[in-house]
Amino acid sequence: MPRLISGLMAVFLVLFASAGHAAGYRIQVGDTLKVEVLEDPLLNRTVLVLPDGSVNFPSLGAVRARGKTAIAVQDEISKGLGAVFASMPTVYVSVVHVRDVLPSSVRPDPDNIYVMGEVKQPGLIKSEKPISVLQAIAQAGGFTRFAATKRVELHRIDTTSQSEQVYYFDYKNKRGISGGFRLRAGDVISVPERKLFE
């Protein structure tokens, strides 16, 4: 019996120390956060921390996340939604994936394509074969109900001039580049949030 109690105490101390460490973790670019709103499950989503250090959230737009703890981001989202809800909503934010840290001598996979914004599973997409804009969006789980499907952007870096080119894809009206437009390594698809009367 004393061994069982001492064993349980050891497990408790390990879990307590891990929880304390996780609570102090500072969010970085490339991390994936899970946001849950108790009062409105339709707002629940997984979001990617964008290169500018922010995450996109309905009704709030860009919310600063880089360098903050999950609890700090949670409080900011809760306060921001307080203006929309009748009372302050209960929000939970957790880090579900930490960005992969590679040594400087290791180059990332050149076939990586990124999808961010209002898709169900934003983040990195790997494909051994060339894929299209629509295939990448489908691999990211498709559009959320907040997606501005008329204003999807494809960001591509020109390797010779190192300048960024932006292509527009209007999924709803079939304008701009087509859904079959082939993606290249390093392309980023950005799906913005739909405006109020859009």
User: What's the CA gap between 58 and 80, in Å, rounded?
Assistant: 10
> Between 3.10.50.40, 3.30.70.270, 3.40.50.1100, 3.10.560.10, what CATH number should domain 112-191 receive?
3.10.560.10
Examine the pLDDT at 107 and tell me if it is beyond 50. no
Q: How confident is the model at residue 126 (pLDDT cuts 50, 70, 90)?
A: confident
The fraction of the chain above a pLDDT of 90, given in percent, is: 30
2-26: average pLDDT = 46
pTM of the model: 0.50
CA 77/CA 57 separation, integer angstroms: 8
Where are the CATH 3.10.560.10 domain residues in the chain? 112-191
Which among 65, 96, 97, 69 has a CA at the least distance from the CA of 80?
Answer: 65
- With a cut of 60, say whether residue 100 has pLDDT above it: no
The beta strands (E) that lie in the chain are given as 32-37, 45-48, 54-57, 61-64, 91-97, 112-117, 123-126, 152-157, 164-170, 175-176, 188-191
Numbered ranges of CATH 3.30.1950.10 in the chain: 1-101
Would you say residue 102 has pLDDT above 70? no
pLDDT over threshold 60, residue 146: yes
Question: Is pLDDT above 50 for 53?
Answer: yes
Domain 1-101 has CATH 3.30.1950.10: yes
Averaged pLDDT, 158-177: 83
The rounded mean pLDDT for the chain is 79
The answer to whether the CB of 38 falls within 8 A of the CB of 91 is yes
Q: How high is the pLDDT of residue 7?
A: 43
Instruction: Answer whether residue 137 shows pLDDT above 90.
Output: yes
Question: Per-residue confidence at 162, pLDDT binned at 50, 70, 90?
Answer: low
Question: Per the structure block, which two tokens stand in for 56?
Answer: 């996109």
CA distance 198 to 187: 26
